[in-house]
Chain A
């Protein structure tokens, strides 16, 4: 078995510098469209291309509802008036009112947060990105974040998927079985708005329809760093709004 010890040592430390510094490796984020100033006619054209109504025409051009974007790239590819692109991945948002609900997650949790992941009707991509958090590149253990298989040990309920009828009861039971204080992090545009699936007889159209969501992580799927950003928000280790200076720059490579 000594070969594995040698191998582990030889590989060395691979973990990203995030959140201390931006991750600059290419391919770590698909990016996200950004609010863009465009002449009205063009803004209307490009907004009409969006399949999930994530782009909204405003007087200055277009605005983006990140919670709905599915990275279809229709607003940047094969169009005369591409929108601007935000190549970073700090998209998570702490919802107002989160602190008012129940007791706050105190300092004790900031470096020891146990997370229960529930698949509430995912396509597998968000779940895969959540799993990547445990690979050595992201290694979320170094930040004091741990996955737990049981709601009894969980401080955070991380939900992926559009909330199918079949998962309603299991999800509610899991939430109720968690000790207080507890937080809900909704990951991925399906969990936020059902996105491409849109509300139907079998999809409620987002986790917020059933549980009080504290942090929203947009993306389809959100890359591991975006999910990490959401977890840092819930642990109180990142300022709540986008005032943060850390931005990744190297992902601009291939858009058009």
Chain B
């Protein structure tokens, strides 16, 4: 047992005695440590882990088996994963909320309430979340096993007069609704901007317009078809999500990934990250109205899309990840060409960054705009570039290495200001690191197979993870006896970061709204699933 866990185990024993059972398991589920407790202990235990033990909250997995099984995922550097597991009899759907102490769990509990019908006692705000109250009846609970997802639901007629809840009550305050259809080619999301004049006091997003119930429709399917679903959680982060799922199944079935496949996966994951960041940069330039820079960044994004297409056959890297490796070998020369293309793009990005840093009118729009403090970023459990731009160490490639990332040398840039400009700089710096990783990997590709031959699927559950371009992606999958999927739960970086979006969107000038939105570079689809 690593020293850190030994220490933890002593403390738990001293504080909770026999009420919290601690066990170690390095097997299939990919967990380092499991703590079992009654629901009543959850708030104290979780808040102790989160506040005193420096654990990050990863997410909440709810499973309906013989009873309810709730699994709170925590992680921290060098200690691996920590699963806090509590069971509840099936007749009983009530348990204490932990979000009063672990604010990062807020949305996870709301989601479980909406989709399973569980009640988290003490949670300040439940209801109207994933399933919109103006479209669905209350108490639908579509993730329950008894719910038949293949049939249309006889839902109440949409109410065209539905209005979102107002929060600001000052005299003269009014609410400006934006969305779900707004601007040119924007994702479906609704914002309620509450203002008393020039300045917007709050901007509350309403999400899940594109909720496709992917977790539900995955149930009963073959896991290799669920890889296709994982790719479509967020089409612009397809490779990272399918990688996380494949790694979960590989861990469960003890499938060895050949070294060549692991290296190719790193290369492709970084290609995706670089393209994502180029798109984010283009979005930021566009939001400030800097047309030439936006066009230039958009061209670099297209160059990376073409490099992806030429290398793999698909511009968004669909259809590549399979259990045990990839669906096709990529030859060394083609990888070399892709590395050359990314190096070219990296040089162009560096030049663009240089020019932007000299455009004061551009910087004025970004500096001190949309600030997220590191304290808030931690409390809200933010991940990925948003958290790193606020100074947090949040990168699964470093904190929980997978796919051989611990053997690759790369920097994990951080910024400290947490404002729009810090996020822009971080996107630039991370894109450079990705380009470096690609060229390192492409230069020394191991020879050998690109996939292990098929093996039998085993029943059981496992966690897979990957650092998606937007941050930590966690996939929990449980396979049944016939190798069919029983439960699939995905915790996406956009879900975590949309939760914190309103931190950056408080008391700002109206014209800054698109800029704040662009510097977050969040995916609506990844959040909605």
A residues neighboring B (CB under 8 Å): 1, 3-5, 7-8, 11, 14, 25-31, 51, 70-74, 77-78, 116-132, 134-137, 147-149, 151, 161-162, 164-171, 174, 190, 196-203, 220-221, 223, 251, 253-256
Residue in A closest to B311 when the chains form the complex, CB atoms: A254
Q: Which residues of A contact B413 (CB under 8 A)?
A: none
Shortest CB-to-CB span from A148 to chain B, Å, is: 7
Chain B contact-residue range equals 35 or more
Among B132, B135, B188, the residue within 8 A (CB) of A121 is: B188
Among B211, B307, B318, B359, the residue within 8 A (CB) of A70 is: B318
Q: Which residues of A contact B187 (CB under 8 A)?
A: 119, 122, 124, 127
The secondary-structure label for the interface of chain A is: loop
Q: Which residues of B contact A77 (CB under 8 A)?
A: 319, 327-328
The secondary-structure label for the interface of chain B is: loop
- Any A CB within 8 A of the CB of B152: yes
- 30 interchain pairs (CB within 8 A)? A4-B355, A14-B299, A27-B310, A27-B311, A30-B315, A74-B327, A116-B181, A118-B188, A121-B188, A122-B235, A124-B526, A127-B185, A130-B185, A135-B295, A135-B301, A136-B295, A166-B132, A166-B188, A167-B209, A197-B217, A201-B213, A202-B149, A202-B211, A202-B213, A203-B213, A220-B318, A221-B315, A254-B310, A254-B312, A256-B328
Known A28-B306, A119-B188; contact A164-B318, beta-carbon cutoff 8 A? no
Whether B355 and A168, one on each chain, are in contact in the complex, defined by CB atoms closer than 8 angstroms, is no
Q: For chains A and B in complex, what number of residue pairs have CB atoms within 8 angstroms?
A: 227
Among A1, A8, A30, A123, the residue within 8 A (CB) of B359 is: A1
The 8 closest A-B pairs by CB, nearest first: A125-B235, A27-B309, A27-B306, A27-B310, A135-B298, A147-B184, A26-B310, A123-B235
Whether B235 and A124, one on each chain, are in contact in the complex, defined by CB atoms closer than 8 angstroms, is yes
Q: Which residues of B contact A161 (CB under 8 A)?
A: 188, 210
Once bound together, how far apart are the Cα atoms of A30 and B135, in whole Å? Answer: 37
Whether B210 and A4, one on each chain, are in contact in the complex, defined by CB atoms closer than 8 angstroms, is no
Among A136, A169, A203, the residue within 8 A (CB) of B158 is: A169
Whether B212 and A73, one on each chain, are in contact in the complex, defined by CB atoms closer than 8 angstroms, is no
- Any A CB within 8 A of the CB of B167: no
Shortest CB-to-CB span from B391 to chain A, Å, is: 28
Whether A3 and B305, one on each chain, are in contact in the complex, defined by CB atoms closer than 8 angstroms, is no
Q: Which residues of A contact B319 (CB under 8 A)?
A: 70-74, 77
Q: Which residues of A contact B225 (CB under 8 A)?
A: 51, 196
Residue in B closest to A3 when the chains form the complex, CB atoms: B355
Interface stretch among B43-51, B226-234, B429-437, B472-480?
A: B226-234
In chain B, positions 167-220 with a C-beta closer than 8 Å to chain A are: 180-188, 208-214, 216-217
- Any A CB within 8 A of the CB of B236: yes
- Any A CB within 8 A of the CB of B292: yes
Once bound together, how far apart are the Cα atoms of A200 and B321, in whole Å? Answer: 26
Whether B158 and A132, one on each chain, are in contact in the complex, defined by CB atoms closer than 8 angstroms, is no
Whether A72 and B318, one on each chain, are in contact in the complex, defined by CB atoms closer than 8 angstroms, is yes
Whether A3 and B358, one on each chain, are in contact in the complex, defined by CB atoms closer than 8 angstroms, is yes
Known A27-B308, A127-B187, A162-B212; contact A71-B318, beta-carbon cutoff 8 A? yes
Whether B279 and A201, one on each chain, are in contact in the complex, defined by CB atoms closer than 8 angstroms, is no
Once bound together, how far apart are the Cα atoms of A116 and B233, in whole Å? Answer: 24
In chain B, positions 298-347 with a C-beta closer than 8 Å to chain A are: 298-299, 301-302, 305-316, 318-319, 327-328, 330, 334
Residue in A closest to B306 when the chains form the complex, CB atoms: A27
Q: Which residues of A contact B307 (CB under 8 A)?
A: 27
Apart from A136-B299, A164-B212, 18 more pairs, CB < 8 Å: A4-B355, A4-B359, A7-B292, A74-B319, A116-B181, A123-B232, A124-B523, A130-B185, A132-B305, A167-B209, A196-B225, A200-B149, A201-B142, A201-B151, A221-B235, A251-B309, A253-B334, A254-B310
| Most chain A CB atoms below 10 A, which of B136, B148, B211, B334 | B211
Shortest CB-to-CB span from B490 to chain A, Å, is: 13
In chain B, positions 106-144 with a C-beta closer than 8 Å to chain A are: 132, 135-136, 142
Shortest CB-to-CB span from A109 to chain B, Å, is: 19
Among B153, B234, B306, B311, the residue within 8 A (CB) of A25 is: B306
Whether A201 and B153, one on each chain, are in contact in the complex, defined by CB atoms closer than 8 angstroms, is yes
Residue in A closest to B206 when the chains form the complex, CB atoms: A166
Q: Which residues of B contact A123 (CB under 8 A)?
A: 232-235, 238, 525
Whether A70 and B228, one on each chain, are in contact in the complex, defined by CB atoms closer than 8 angstroms, is yes
Whether B235 and A31, one on each chain, are in contact in the complex, defined by CB atoms closer than 8 angstroms, is no
- Any A CB within 8 A of the CB of B6: no
Q: Which residues of B contact A190 (CB under 8 A)?
A: 232
| Most chain A CB atoms below 10 A, which of B211, B212, B307, B316 | B212
Q: Which residues of B contact A223 (CB under 8 A)?
A: 309, 315
Whether A30 and B235, one on each chain, are in contact in the complex, defined by CB atoms closer than 8 angstroms, is no
Residue in B closest to A31 when the chains form the complex, CB atoms: B313
